């Protein structure tokens, strides 16, 4: 249902005529009359309104949050009493509010001038567009200041073909409009239009601009505008103002944003809603679920001043200042007596050991509520410390079960992934020079992974290699294979899902004189069938290239995680083409998805998982065994010998 909201002190005949066009498309029309409006105008308001109330003016646009609270419709169309919706807008309203893809519509405001048949078509008037048709739910908030209405809450559509006509310029002479501009300047001084003109005078005194350009208004709208402006008044009609509900200024202001809260509004409670998660030093992604109760006298906003948030901090158990670790907004406005559930993101302290977690309400720029929870916790060792302990016990090739033990102890998604410091380069000077200007770390190969791959290639001297996912790794492998074999033979086959990225890789190879050492093939992602997850799908051309390459080293660094595909099935594409056992490397091996792949590969008879090298994101090292050729029947072998 659509609710039309109109706060007004404008002449009754004008308001009734302007809103009558919406009578058949609106579920309700709510008119809020300024308390100073007399009974003669109220009688006309009553002709067209389903709900008619009076209110004490509380300042520029501060009535909108209160007025929206009176609406019962799923959508609201907000209009001033000197505005008239176009016929096209009225006709389109049912379709617009039925569109579930949109939350708000921005409508053009056409300033009617110098008569009912024309509108201003130059700046600043031509750019006047405002959010007027709005989904009426908890996401609807208002800035409540001069020249500001609803806050943007996408998805938003901009509809230049469905205007609202603003009639103010035709309702009085220049002196009245000059006085209005001066009054608005006094309320908020110092505004300029984009063209550098005083804002209010530019809008309300078009004569000052000489002869601004205009456009004709469609005939159907021009006739309705003229009729509304010329609507006659019946002197004998009246409505007793006392017969209508009156909302005083305090009631209106209660809904409006405010920069200050009364002293008794800073009462609340923060309690633990679920058991605390395990905390690991330096982790940033733990959620602590709390219940927040407003025990004060005022509603706590969540978008405008005063901004009320939940602050998290660690209090040293041996004393000392709190260490704040972040702020979390309320999920919605919270009225007196209401309780809501909030997930507070908490970054653990940098060091393990006992600590006290404090979560309290805070008025940003104002004060703490001092009503929060205090929980004693034992912070576990950091991921770096845990992995270092594994390396001390097992060496630099960590057993998969031990790595999974750390993952379970930390208890957070992708908890073992770490990042090298920005700018970290491979230790090998030549590789550092080759990868300058390429991505290293974050989503690409880490510098420590590059160093380990270089160590393996130089030690094992593979004749050929295959990789899944191109980029920095392609340049590194091509350079290493050229280094150890000293020829221009294409020894590296690189499969890439993204054609544009494949071309970037080819360009990077060419710029470094390595184009002859590597072949980059675009390979699409798809569904392999059965219960296997999506991944690379081998084409006939790719199979032929694999047959010719017969790789001795396989690096799996693709497809990308954000593609939704998995690296699980990559070795099934390669395995049939091996002539001998091959070294198998899986990058990002400390990430959850790759830990699952490592578990699946470890169960295969043709894969020996040796462990995970603790590079920043982890590098799994394994051996992929070549297929064992079937033995010929004994009779066939004897016949061959006899021949």
Measured distance CA(279)–CA(381) in Å, rounded: 9
Phi, psi of 170 (to 5 degrees): -100, 5
Contact by Cβ (8 Å): 453, 472: no
Tell me the pairing of strands 308-315 and 353-363.
Answer: antiparallel
Which residue's entry shows tokens 């790794």? 473
CATH architecture of 263-379: Sandwich (2.60)
Phi, psi of 563 (to 5 degrees): -75, -15
Average of pLDDT values for 515-520? 96
Q: What angle is formed at CA 329 by the lines to CA 335 and CA 100, rounded to 5 degrees? A: 80
Model confidence pLDDT, tens digit, residues 336-380:
999 999 999 999 988 889 999 999 999 988 889 999 999 999 999
Residue 153 has pLDDT above 60, yes or no: yes
CATH of 401-624, one of 3.90.1150.10, 3.40.1410.10, 3.90.1420.10, 3.40.50.150: 3.40.50.150
Contact by Cβ (8 Å): 440, 450: yes
Which distant-in-sequence residues (6+ apart) come within 8 Å of 279 by Cβ? 286, 346, 348, 349, 355, 377, 378, 379, 380
Which pLDDT belongs to residue 339?
Answer: 97
Handedness of CA 467, 468, 470, 471 (dihedral sign): negative
Domain boundaries of the chain, sorted by first residue: 2-251, 263-379, 401-624
Average of pLDDT values for 537-560? 95
Does residue 35 come out as left (phi exceeding 0), alpha (psi in the -120 to 50 range) or beta? alpha
What confidence tier does 144 reach under pLDDT thresholds 50, 70, 90?
Answer: low
Measured distance CA(97)–CA(72) in Å, rounded: 14
Which pLDDT belongs to residue 145?
Answer: 63
Q: Which of 45-49, 257-261, 448-452 has the lowest mean pLDDT?
A: 257-261
Please classify residue 75 by burial: count the beta carbons closer than 10 Å to its beta carbon, then call 0-12 exposed, 13-18 middle and 19+ buried: buried
Which pLDDT belongs to residue 580?
Answer: 95
Model confidence pLDDT, tens digit, residues 595-637:
999 999 999 999 999 999 999 999 999 999 999 776 666 555 4
pLDDT mean across residues, the chain: 91
Residue 441 has pLDDT above 90, yes or no: no
Residue 524 has pLDDT above 60, yes or no: yes
Select from 180, 164, 161 the least CA-distant residue to 172. 180
Which pLDDT belongs to residue 640?
Answer: 55
Residue 155 has pLDDT above 70, yes or no: yes
Average of pLDDT values for 506-531? 93
Domain 2-251 has CATH 2.60.40: no
Which residue's entry shows tokens 């219940």? 291
CB atoms within 10 A of CB 435: 24
Question: What DSSP designation does 380 have?
Answer: B
Measured distance CA(344)–CA(204) in Å, rounded: 48
Residue 267 has pLDDT above 90, yes or no: yes
Model confidence pLDDT, tens digit, residues 568-606:
999 999 999 999 999 999 999 999 999 999 999 999 999
CB atoms within 10 A of CB 241: 16
Handedness of CA 416, 420, 422, 428 (dihedral sign): negative
Q: Which of 2-6, 424-428, 461-465, 473-477 has the lowest mean pLDDT?
A: 424-428
What confidence tier does 643 reach under pLDDT thresholds 50, 70, 90?
Answer: very low
Measured distance CA(602)–CA(420) in Å, rounded: 28
Structure tokens at 96: 């617009």
Model confidence pLDDT, tens digit, residues 96-112:
999 999 999 999 999 99
Measured distance CA(11)–CA(167) in Å, rounded: 12
Which pLDDT belongs to residue 147?
Answer: 60
Which pLDDT belongs to residue 202?
Answer: 83
End-to-end CA distance of the chain: 93
What confidence tier does 146 reach under pLDDT thresholds 50, 70, 90?
Answer: low
Max alpha carbon distance in the chain (Å)? 128
Listed in order, strand segments (DSSP E) in 62-189 are 75-78, 83-85, 104-111, 118-120, 129-135, 142-145, 148-150, 156-158, 164-166
Residue 292 has pLDDT above 50, yes or no: yes
């Amino acid at each position: 249902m659509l609710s039309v909201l109109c706060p007004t002190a404008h002449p009754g005949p004008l308001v009734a005529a302007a809103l009558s066009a919406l009578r058949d498309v609106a579920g309700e029309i709510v008119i809020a009359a300024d308390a100073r409006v007399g009974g003669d105008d109220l009688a006309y308001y009553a002709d067209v309104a389903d709900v008619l109330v009076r209110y004490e003016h509380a300042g520029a646009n501060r009535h909108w949050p209160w007025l929206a609270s009176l609406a019962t419709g799923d959508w609201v169309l907000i209009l001033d009493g000197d505005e008239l919706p176009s016929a096209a807008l009225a006709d389109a309203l049912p379709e617009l509010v039925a569109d579930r893809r949109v939350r708000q519509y921005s409508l053009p405001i056409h300033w009617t001038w110098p008569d009912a048949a024309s509108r201003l078509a130059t700046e600043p008037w031509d750019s006047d567009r405002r959010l007027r048709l709005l989904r009426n739910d908890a996401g609807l908030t208002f800035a409540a200041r001069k020249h500001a209405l609803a806050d943007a809450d996408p998805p938003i559509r901009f509809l230049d073909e469905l205007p609202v006509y603003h009639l103010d310029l035709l309702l009085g002479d220049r002196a009245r409009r000059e006085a209005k501009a001066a009054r608005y300047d006094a309320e908020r001084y110092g505004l300029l239009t984009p063209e550098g003109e005083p804002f209010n005078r530019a809008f309300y005194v078009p004569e000052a601009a000489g002869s601004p350009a205009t456009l004709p208004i469609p005939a159907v709208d021009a006739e309705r505008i003229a009729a509304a402006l010329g609507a006659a008044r019946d002197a004998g009609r009246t409505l007793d103002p006392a017969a209508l509900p009156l909302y005083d200024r305090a009631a209106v202001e209660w809904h409006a944003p405010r920069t200050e809260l009364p002293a008794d509004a800073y009462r609340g409670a923060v309690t633990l809603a679920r058991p605390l998660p395990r905390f690991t030093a330096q982790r940033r992604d733990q959620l602590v679920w709390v219940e927040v109760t407003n025990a004060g006298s005022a509603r706590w906003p969540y978008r405008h001043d005063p901004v009320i948030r939940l602050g998290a901090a660690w209090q040293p158990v041996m004393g000392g200042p709190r260490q704040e670790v972040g702020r979390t907004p309320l999920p919605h406005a919270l009225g007196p007596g209401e309780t809501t559930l909030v997930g507070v993101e908490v970054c653990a302290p940098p060091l393990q050991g006992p600590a006290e977690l404090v979560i309290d309400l805070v008025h940003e720029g104002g004060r703490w509520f001092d009503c929060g929870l205090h929980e004693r916790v034992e912070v576990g060792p950091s991921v770096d410390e845990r992995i270092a302990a594994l390396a001390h016990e097992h060496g630099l090739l960590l057993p998969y079960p031990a790595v999974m033990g750390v993952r379970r102890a930390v208890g957070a998604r992708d908890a073992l992934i770490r990042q090298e410091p920005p700018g970290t380069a491979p230790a090998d000077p030549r590789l550092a020079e080759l990868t300058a200007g390429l991505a290293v770390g974050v989503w690409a190969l880490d510098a420590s992974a590059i160093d380990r791959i270089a160590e393996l290639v130089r030690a094992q001297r593979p004749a050929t290699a295959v990789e899944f996912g191109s980029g920095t790794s392609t340049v590194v492998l091509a350079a290493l294979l050229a280094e150890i074999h000293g020829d221009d033979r294409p020894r590296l086959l690189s499969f890439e899902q993204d054609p544009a990225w494949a071309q970037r890789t080819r360009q990077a190879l060419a710029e470094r004189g390595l184009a002859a050492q590597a072949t980059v093939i675009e390979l699409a992602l798809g569904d392999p069938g059965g219960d296997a997850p999506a991944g690379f799908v081998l084409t006939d051309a790719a199979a032929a290239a694999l047959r010719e390459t017969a790789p001795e080293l396989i690096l799996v660094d693709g497809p990308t995680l954000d593609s939704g595909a998995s690296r699980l099935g990559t070795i099934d594409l390669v395995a049939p083409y091996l002539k001998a056992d091959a070294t198998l490397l899986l990058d990002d091996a400390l990430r959850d998805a790759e830990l699952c792949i490592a578990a699946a590969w470890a169960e295969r008879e043709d894969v020996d998982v040796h462990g995970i090298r603790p590079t920043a994101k982890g590098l799994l090292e394994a051996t992929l065994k070549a297929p064992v050729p079937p033995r010929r029947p004994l009779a066939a072998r004897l016949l061959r010998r006899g021949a």
